[in-house]
Amino acid sequence: MRDPCDHYTIDLIGGSRAKPGRKPLGERAMTAAERKRRSRELRRNRLQELSVTVELSRDAQKALDKMIEWWGVSKKEAINRAMLIACQSQTGRTGLLFASDDPAFLAEDRPPRKRRS
């Protein structure tokens, strides 16, 4: 008699083993070309989700150019820094909505709040 908790030993009478490997997504396993096509499509979709295209006003473009000149960084880095500075300057809980992994960003420079009595 077989132990009902034993899932590793196959039954010698009429038992069948499952095929090794991951189950196919459809009715059959994908070919190498289908797998690569799917991989490229998923990668393209992920990259599109991470990129942002914006149009800046002239004043905003001039400000961005000044930041690039002051900091000596690329446009991407200047925009990232400006966004982090904007989040840090928020008061109350809104600044905490945009949490960052950067320890400098998480450090609070504000004095403690007064308690209500």
What is the b/e burial string over 68-86, where b = at least 16 CB atoms within 10 angstroms of the residue's CB? eeeeeeeeeebbeeeeeee
pLDDT at 8: 72
Q: What does the block give as tokens for 10?
A: 């196959």
pLDDT at 15: 60
pLDDT at 61: 93
Q: What are phi and psi of 104, to 5 degrees?
A: -65, -35
Q: How far apart are CA 16 and CA 24, in angstroms?
A: 19
pLDDT at 95: 46
> What is the distance between the terminal CA atoms of the chain, rounded to a whole angstrom?
72
User: Residue 2 to residues 29, 51, 62, 71, 75: CA-CA distances in angstroms?
Assistant: 33, 57, 78, 72, 68
Instruction: Give this prediction's pTM.
Output: 0.39
What are the pLDDT digits (tens) for 15-52?
Answer: 666 777 777 878 888 889 999 999 999 988 887 777 78
